[in-house]
Chain A
Protein backbone atom coordinates (compact mmCIF):
# COMPACT_ATOMS: atom_id res chain seq x y z
CA UNK A 1 0.00 0.00 0.00
CA UNK A 2 2.80 2.33 0.92
CA UNK A 3 4.40 2.02 -2.49
CA UNK A 4 1.26 2.98 -4.35
CA UNK A 5 0.80 6.03 -2.25
CA UNK A 6 4.31 7.32 -2.53
CA UNK A 7 4.51 7.42 -6.31
CA UNK A 8 3.40 10.83 -7.45
CA UNK A 9 1.89 11.49 -10.84
CA UNK A 10 2.13 14.97 -12.21
CA UNK A 11 -1.19 14.64 -13.97
CA UNK A 12 -3.17 13.88 -10.86
CA UNK A 13 -4.23 17.37 -10.19
CA UNK A 14 -5.33 18.22 -13.70
CA UNK A 15 -7.79 15.37 -13.51
CA UNK A 16 -9.49 16.89 -10.55
CA UNK A 17 -10.67 20.15 -11.97
CA UNK A 18 -14.13 21.08 -10.87
CA UNK A 19 -14.45 18.61 -8.04
CA UNK A 20 -15.01 21.24 -5.39
CA UNK A 21 -17.90 19.34 -3.93
CA UNK A 22 -15.66 16.48 -2.80
CA UNK A 23 -13.62 18.89 -0.80
CA UNK A 24 -16.25 20.05 1.63
CA UNK A 25 -16.22 18.94 5.23
CA UNK A 26 -16.82 15.21 5.22
CA UNK A 27 -17.48 13.19 8.30
CA UNK A 28 -15.26 10.21 8.93
CA UNK A 29 -18.24 7.86 9.10
CA UNK A 30 -19.25 8.38 5.48
CA UNK A 31 -18.59 5.25 3.46
CA UNK A 32 -15.56 5.02 1.23
CA UNK A 33 -17.66 3.46 -1.50
CA UNK A 34 -19.81 6.52 -1.74
CA UNK A 35 -16.76 8.74 -1.90
CA UNK A 36 -15.24 6.85 -4.80
CA UNK A 37 -18.42 6.74 -6.81
CA UNK A 38 -18.94 10.44 -6.37
CA UNK A 39 -15.34 11.14 -7.19
CA UNK A 40 -15.39 9.18 -10.42
CA UNK A 41 -18.54 10.87 -11.59
CA UNK A 42 -16.71 14.15 -11.24
CA UNK A 43 -13.56 12.78 -12.74
CA UNK A 44 -14.54 11.68 -16.19
CA UNK A 45 -16.22 14.84 -17.50
CA UNK A 46 -13.22 16.89 -16.47
CA UNK A 47 -10.85 14.46 -18.15
CA UNK A 48 -12.74 14.92 -21.38
CA UNK A 49 -12.78 18.65 -20.94
CA UNK A 50 -9.04 18.83 -20.53
CA UNK A 51 -8.53 16.56 -23.52
CA UNK A 52 -10.32 18.99 -25.80
CA UNK A 53 -8.30 21.90 -24.55
CA UNK A 54 -4.85 20.78 -25.61
CA UNK A 55 -3.92 18.18 -28.21
CA UNK A 56 -1.07 16.92 -26.04
CA UNK A 57 -3.48 15.78 -23.36
CA UNK A 58 -5.28 13.39 -25.72
CA UNK A 59 -3.21 10.51 -24.46
CA UNK A 60 -4.21 11.11 -20.90
CA UNK A 61 -5.98 8.01 -19.72
CA UNK A 62 -6.66 7.04 -16.19
CA UNK A 63 -5.19 3.63 -15.69
CA UNK A 64 -6.82 1.29 -13.19
CA UNK A 65 -3.72 1.61 -11.10
CA UNK A 66 -4.04 5.35 -10.93
CA UNK A 67 -7.70 5.16 -10.04
CA UNK A 68 -6.92 2.82 -7.18
CA UNK A 69 -4.11 5.09 -6.04
CA UNK A 70 -6.30 8.18 -6.07
CA UNK A 71 -9.12 6.37 -4.31
CA UNK A 72 -6.72 5.23 -1.59
CA UNK A 73 -5.44 8.74 -1.14
CA UNK A 74 -8.93 10.11 -0.82
CA UNK A 75 -9.63 7.45 1.78
CA UNK A 76 -6.51 8.41 3.70
CA UNK A 77 -7.28 12.11 3.49
CA UNK A 78 -10.59 11.59 5.27
CA UNK A 79 -8.67 10.79 8.42
CA UNK A 80 -7.07 14.22 8.49
CA UNK A 81 -9.10 16.42 10.83
CA UNK A 82 -10.98 19.46 9.63
CA UNK A 83 -11.58 22.44 11.86
CA UNK A 84 -12.71 26.00 11.49
CA UNK A 85 -10.29 28.89 11.64
CA UNK A 86 -11.01 30.85 14.80
CA UNK A 87 -8.69 33.76 14.15
CA UNK A 88 -6.78 33.15 17.36
CA UNK A 89 -4.13 30.92 15.83
CA UNK A 90 -0.94 32.84 16.09
CA UNK A 91 1.16 30.62 13.88
CA UNK A 92 -0.38 30.91 10.45
CA UNK A 93 -2.54 33.66 9.09
CA UNK A 94 -2.55 32.63 5.47
CA UNK A 95 -2.80 29.40 3.52
CA UNK A 96 0.62 28.99 1.87
CA UNK A 97 -0.93 27.18 -1.09
CA UNK A 98 -3.26 29.93 -2.37
CA UNK A 99 -1.52 32.64 -0.29
CA UNK A 100 -4.90 34.05 0.75
CA UNK A 101 -5.52 34.91 4.39
CA UNK A 102 -7.76 32.63 6.40
CA UNK A 103 -11.18 34.03 7.26
CA UNK A 104 -12.75 33.35 10.63
CA UNK A 105 -14.97 30.24 10.49
CA UNK A 106 -13.39 29.07 7.25
CA UNK A 107 -12.84 25.30 7.01
CA UNK A 108 -9.19 24.31 7.43
CA UNK A 109 -7.57 20.91 7.40
CA UNK A 110 -4.89 19.96 9.92
CA UNK A 111 -1.94 17.83 8.87
CA UNK A 112 -0.16 15.66 11.46
CA UNK A 113 2.61 18.29 11.63
CA UNK A 114 -0.12 20.77 12.70
CA UNK A 115 0.23 22.97 9.62
CA UNK A 116 -3.17 24.16 8.45
CA UNK A 117 -4.52 24.85 4.97
CA UNK A 118 -7.79 25.55 3.23
CA UNK A 119 -9.49 22.18 2.75
CA UNK A 120 -9.79 22.62 -1.03
CA UNK A 121 -6.16 23.70 -1.36
CA UNK A 122 -4.57 20.93 0.69
CA UNK A 123 -6.77 18.18 -0.74
CA UNK A 124 -5.69 19.07 -4.26
CA UNK A 125 -2.07 19.08 -3.13
CA UNK A 126 -2.31 15.74 -1.28
CA UNK A 127 -3.65 14.06 -4.40
CA UNK A 128 -0.38 14.99 -6.05
CA UNK A 129 1.99 14.47 -3.15
CA UNK A 130 1.40 13.09 0.34
CA UNK A 131 3.68 15.56 2.05
CA UNK A 132 3.13 18.78 3.94
CA UNK A 133 3.83 21.65 1.49
CA UNK A 134 5.42 23.67 4.30
CA UNK A 135 7.67 21.23 6.13
CA UNK A 136 7.68 18.31 3.64
CA UNK A 137 6.83 15.84 6.40
CA UNK A 138 5.29 12.75 4.79
CA UNK A 139 1.61 12.56 5.59
CA UNK A 140 1.06 8.86 4.90
CA UNK A 141 3.83 7.67 7.21
CA UNK A 142 2.57 9.86 10.02
CA UNK A 143 -0.96 8.53 9.56
CA UNK A 144 0.13 4.92 9.44
CA UNK A 145 2.03 5.44 12.67
CA UNK A 146 -1.07 6.80 14.31
CA UNK A 147 -3.02 3.71 13.16
CA UNK A 148 -0.42 1.49 14.74
CA UNK A 149 -0.59 3.20 18.07
CA UNK A 150 -4.40 3.25 18.07
Chain B
Protein backbone atom coordinates (compact mmCIF):
# COMPACT_ATOMS: atom_id res chain seq x y z
CA UNK B 1 0.00 0.00 0.00
CA UNK B 2 2.80 2.36 0.85
CA UNK B 3 4.14 1.69 -2.60
CA UNK B 4 0.94 2.88 -4.17
CA UNK B 5 1.13 6.13 -2.17
CA UNK B 6 4.67 6.80 -3.39
CA UNK B 7 4.10 5.81 -7.00
CA UNK B 8 0.97 7.92 -7.18
CA UNK B 9 2.64 10.96 -5.67
CA UNK B 10 5.44 10.59 -8.21
CA UNK B 11 2.93 10.52 -11.06
CA UNK B 12 0.98 13.43 -9.61
CA UNK B 13 4.15 15.41 -9.16
CA UNK B 14 4.99 15.01 -12.85
CA UNK B 15 1.44 15.92 -13.81
CA UNK B 16 1.26 19.02 -11.62
CA UNK B 17 4.61 20.25 -12.94
CA UNK B 18 3.15 20.32 -16.43
CA UNK B 19 -0.08 22.02 -15.36
CA UNK B 20 -1.17 25.43 -16.49
CA UNK B 21 -1.34 26.73 -12.93
CA UNK B 22 2.37 26.05 -12.42
CA UNK B 23 3.18 27.90 -15.60
CA UNK B 24 1.13 30.86 -14.40
CA UNK B 25 2.87 30.67 -10.97
CA UNK B 26 -0.52 30.36 -9.30
CA UNK B 27 0.47 27.17 -7.47
CA UNK B 28 3.80 25.53 -6.71
CA UNK B 29 4.85 22.23 -5.23
CA UNK B 30 8.19 20.86 -4.11
CA UNK B 31 9.65 17.90 -2.28
CA UNK B 32 10.81 18.24 1.30
CA UNK B 33 12.62 14.93 1.65
CA UNK B 34 13.50 11.99 -0.56
CA UNK B 35 10.78 9.73 0.74
CA UNK B 36 7.92 11.45 -1.14
CA UNK B 37 5.85 11.51 2.04
CA UNK B 38 6.22 15.20 2.78
CA UNK B 39 5.81 18.01 0.31
CA UNK B 40 5.63 21.74 0.38
CA UNK B 41 2.93 23.55 -1.54
CA UNK B 42 2.52 27.20 -2.33
CA UNK B 43 -0.57 29.05 -3.49
CA UNK B 44 -0.91 32.62 -4.67
CA UNK B 45 -3.62 34.66 -2.97
CA UNK B 46 -6.54 34.95 -5.42
CA UNK B 47 -7.24 38.31 -7.08
CA UNK B 48 -9.92 40.57 -5.56
CA UNK B 49 -9.44 39.04 -2.12
CA UNK B 50 -7.53 40.42 0.88
CA UNK B 51 -4.95 37.70 0.14
CA UNK B 52 -4.09 39.06 -3.31
CA UNK B 53 -0.37 39.51 -3.84
CA UNK B 54 0.55 37.07 -1.06
CA UNK B 55 2.28 33.69 -1.37
CA UNK B 56 1.06 31.09 1.11
CA UNK B 57 3.18 28.08 2.00
CA UNK B 58 1.50 24.78 2.87
CA UNK B 59 2.76 21.69 4.64
CA UNK B 60 1.54 18.54 2.89
CA UNK B 61 1.97 15.15 4.55
CA UNK B 62 1.07 12.11 2.49
CA UNK B 63 -0.28 9.25 4.60
CA UNK B 64 0.80 5.67 3.94
CA UNK B 65 -2.79 4.95 2.93
CA UNK B 66 -2.89 7.65 0.22
CA UNK B 67 -4.94 7.96 -2.02
CA UNK B 68 -7.51 6.12 0.08
CA UNK B 69 -7.15 8.80 2.74
CA UNK B 70 -6.60 12.50 2.10
CA UNK B 71 -3.23 14.23 2.48
CA UNK B 72 -2.75 16.15 5.73
CA UNK B 73 -2.44 19.80 4.83
CA UNK B 74 -1.91 22.92 6.94
CA UNK B 75 -0.82 26.49 6.31
CA UNK B 76 2.74 27.26 7.38
CA UNK B 77 2.31 30.91 6.42
CA UNK B 78 0.16 32.65 9.02
CA UNK B 79 -3.17 33.73 7.61
CA UNK B 80 -6.32 35.51 8.85
CA UNK B 81 -9.22 33.47 7.45
CA UNK B 82 -12.40 32.04 9.09
CA UNK B 83 -11.69 28.47 7.95
CA UNK B 84 -7.99 28.41 8.85
CA UNK B 85 -6.59 28.53 12.38
CA UNK B 86 -4.66 31.77 12.88
CA UNK B 87 -2.60 29.92 15.50
CA UNK B 88 -1.81 26.50 13.99
CA UNK B 89 -2.67 26.85 10.30
CA UNK B 90 -5.11 23.92 10.54
CA UNK B 91 -7.66 23.93 7.74
CA UNK B 92 -11.39 23.21 7.83
CA UNK B 93 -12.23 21.96 4.35
CA UNK B 94 -14.58 19.06 3.60
CA UNK B 95 -12.47 17.46 0.89
CA UNK B 96 -9.57 17.15 3.32
CA UNK B 97 -11.87 15.22 5.65
CA UNK B 98 -15.01 13.22 4.92
CA UNK B 99 -15.52 14.34 1.33
CA UNK B 100 -12.15 13.17 0.08
CA UNK B 101 -12.24 11.03 -3.06
CA UNK B 102 -9.41 8.95 -4.47
CA UNK B 103 -9.65 10.75 -7.80
CA UNK B 104 -8.58 14.02 -6.18
CA UNK B 105 -4.96 15.02 -6.52
CA UNK B 106 -2.41 17.38 -4.98
CA UNK B 107 -3.25 19.77 -7.79
CA UNK B 108 -6.98 19.76 -7.06
CA UNK B 109 -6.28 20.13 -3.33
CA UNK B 110 -4.16 23.24 -3.92
CA UNK B 111 -6.77 24.68 -6.27
CA UNK B 112 -9.51 23.97 -3.72
CA UNK B 113 -7.53 25.79 -1.05
CA UNK B 114 -7.14 28.73 -3.40
CA UNK B 115 -10.89 28.68 -3.91
CA UNK B 116 -11.39 28.59 -0.13
CA UNK B 117 -9.36 31.80 0.18
CA UNK B 118 -11.74 33.41 -2.29
CA UNK B 119 -14.91 32.05 -0.68
CA UNK B 120 -14.75 31.73 3.10
CA UNK B 121 -17.45 29.82 4.94
CA UNK B 122 -17.81 31.64 8.26
CA UNK B 123 -20.66 29.36 9.34
CA UNK B 124 -18.31 26.38 9.37
CA UNK B 125 -15.31 28.02 11.03
CA UNK B 126 -11.93 26.68 12.07
CA UNK B 127 -11.08 29.93 13.85
CA UNK B 128 -14.09 31.23 15.76
CA UNK B 129 -12.53 34.64 16.47
CA UNK B 130 -11.84 35.31 12.79
CA UNK B 131 -15.26 34.00 11.77
CA UNK B 132 -16.96 36.31 14.29
CA UNK B 133 -15.06 39.32 12.96
CA UNK B 134 -15.90 38.28 9.39
CA UNK B 135 -19.61 38.26 10.19
CA UNK B 136 -19.74 41.16 12.64
CA UNK B 137 -17.15 43.66 11.40
CA UNK B 138 -16.39 42.79 7.81
CA UNK B 139 -14.38 45.98 7.11
CA UNK B 140 -12.07 45.21 10.02
CA UNK B 141 -11.79 41.63 8.83
CA UNK B 142 -10.63 42.84 5.39
CA UNK B 143 -8.11 45.18 6.96
CA UNK B 144 -6.75 42.51 9.28
CA UNK B 145 -6.53 39.88 6.53
CA UNK B 146 -4.69 42.34 4.26
CA UNK B 147 -2.36 43.30 7.09
CA UNK B 148 -1.54 39.64 7.82
CA UNK B 149 -1.01 39.02 4.10
CA UNK B 150 1.46 41.90 4.10
CA UNK B 151 3.22 40.81 7.29
CA UNK B 152 3.55 37.08 6.53
CA UNK B 153 2.93 36.44 2.83
CA UNK B 154 4.54 39.45 1.15
CA UNK B 155 1.29 41.19 0.26
CA UNK B 156 1.36 44.79 -0.99
CA UNK B 157 -0.95 46.61 1.46
CA UNK B 158 0.67 48.26 4.46
CA UNK B 159 -1.25 49.70 7.37
CA UNK B 160 0.89 52.16 9.35
CA UNK B 161 -1.76 52.37 12.06
CA UNK B 162 -1.59 48.61 12.67
CA UNK B 163 2.20 48.65 12.61
CA UNK B 164 2.40 51.46 15.15
CA UNK B 165 -0.02 49.70 17.52
CA UNK B 166 2.03 46.51 17.26
CA UNK B 167 5.15 48.55 17.97
CA UNK B 168 3.52 50.00 21.10
CA UNK B 169 2.94 46.50 22.44
CA UNK B 170 6.45 45.40 21.43
CA UNK B 171 7.81 48.32 23.43
CA UNK B 172 6.08 46.75 26.41
CA UNK B 173 7.99 43.52 25.80
CA UNK B 174 5.33 41.62 23.84
CA UNK B 175 6.41 39.36 20.97
CA UNK B 176 5.49 40.74 17.54
CA UNK B 177 3.30 37.77 16.51
CA UNK B 178 1.47 37.74 19.82
CA UNK B 179 0.92 41.49 19.62
CA UNK B 180 -0.52 41.15 16.11
CA UNK B 181 -2.76 38.24 17.12
CA UNK B 182 -4.14 40.01 20.20
CA UNK B 183 -4.74 43.30 18.38
CA UNK B 184 -6.43 41.45 15.49
CA UNK B 185 -8.67 39.63 17.93
CA UNK B 186 -9.58 42.87 19.75
CA UNK B 187 -10.44 44.66 16.48
CA UNK B 188 -7.27 46.79 16.76
CA UNK B 189 -8.41 48.36 20.03
CA UNK B 190 -5.05 48.98 21.73
CA UNK B 191 -6.57 49.54 25.15
CA UNK B 192 -8.48 46.26 25.10
CA UNK B 193 -5.48 44.40 23.74
CA UNK B 194 -3.24 45.76 26.49
CA UNK B 195 -5.84 44.91 29.08
CA UNK B 196 -6.09 41.37 27.75
CA UNK B 197 -2.34 40.92 27.80
CA UNK B 198 -1.60 42.32 31.25
CA UNK B 199 -4.68 41.55 33.33
Which residues in A have some Cβ–Cβ distance to B below 8 Å? Answer: 8, 10, 13-14, 17, 96-100, 121, 124-125, 128-129, 131, 133-134, 136
CB-nearest residue of chain A to B11: A99
Q: Which residues of B contact A121 (CB under 8 A)?
A: 4, 102
Per-residue A-contact encoding for B67-78, CB less than 8 Å = 1, 0 else? 111000000000
Whether the pair A125, B1 counts as a contact (CB closer than 8 A) is: no
Whether the pair B102, A17 counts as a contact (CB closer than 8 A) is: no
Q: Which residues of A contact B12 (CB under 8 A)?
A: 99
Within 8 A of A (CB), among B49-86: 64-65, 67-69
A133 contacts which of B8, B65, B98, B103 (Cβ < 8 Å)?
A: B103
Task: Count chain A CB atoms within 10 A of each CB in B11, B15, B98, B103 and give the residue with the most.
Answer: B103
Q: Which residues of B contact A125 (CB under 8 A)?
A: 68, 102
Within 8 A of A (CB), among B3-26: 4, 7-8, 11-12, 15
Main secondary structure of the interface of B (DSSP, over half): loop
Whether the pair A13, B68 counts as a contact (CB closer than 8 A) is: yes
Query: Known contacts A17-B1, A125-B102, A133-B101; is A100 also within 8 Å of B68 by CB?
Result: no
Give, as a whole number of angstroms, the nearest-CB distance from B155 to chain A.
35
Whether the pair B7, A96 counts as a contact (CB closer than 8 A) is: no
A-B contacts at CB below 8 angstroms, number: 42
A13 contacts which of B11, B65, B101, B103 (Cβ < 8 Å)?
A: B65
- The answer for the CA separation of A10 and B1 in the assembled complex, in Å, is 15
Whether the pair B8, A99 counts as a contact (CB closer than 8 A) is: yes
Query: Known contacts A13-B65, A128-B68; is A100 also within 8 Å of B7 by CB?
Result: yes
Whether the pair A98, B4 counts as a contact (CB closer than 8 A) is: yes
Interface residues on chain B, size class: 10 to 19
Q: Which residues of A contact B65 (CB under 8 A)?
A: 13-14
Q: Which residues of B contact A97 (CB under 8 A)?
A: 8, 67, 102-103
Task: Count chain A CB atoms within 10 A of each CB in B12, B64, B68, B101 and give the residue with the most.
Answer: B68
CB-nearest residue of chain A to B70: A10
Give, as a whole number of angstroms, the nearest-CB distance from B10 to chain A.
9
Shortest Cβ-Cβ A-B pairs, 4 listed: A133-B102, A96-B103, A99-B11, A133-B103
Give, as a whole number of angstroms, the nearest-CB distance from A58 to chain B.
17
Whether the pair B101, A124 counts as a contact (CB closer than 8 A) is: no
Within 8 A of A (CB), among B77-134: 98, 101-103
Whether the pair B101, A136 counts as a contact (CB closer than 8 A) is: yes
CB-nearest residue of chain B to A134: B103
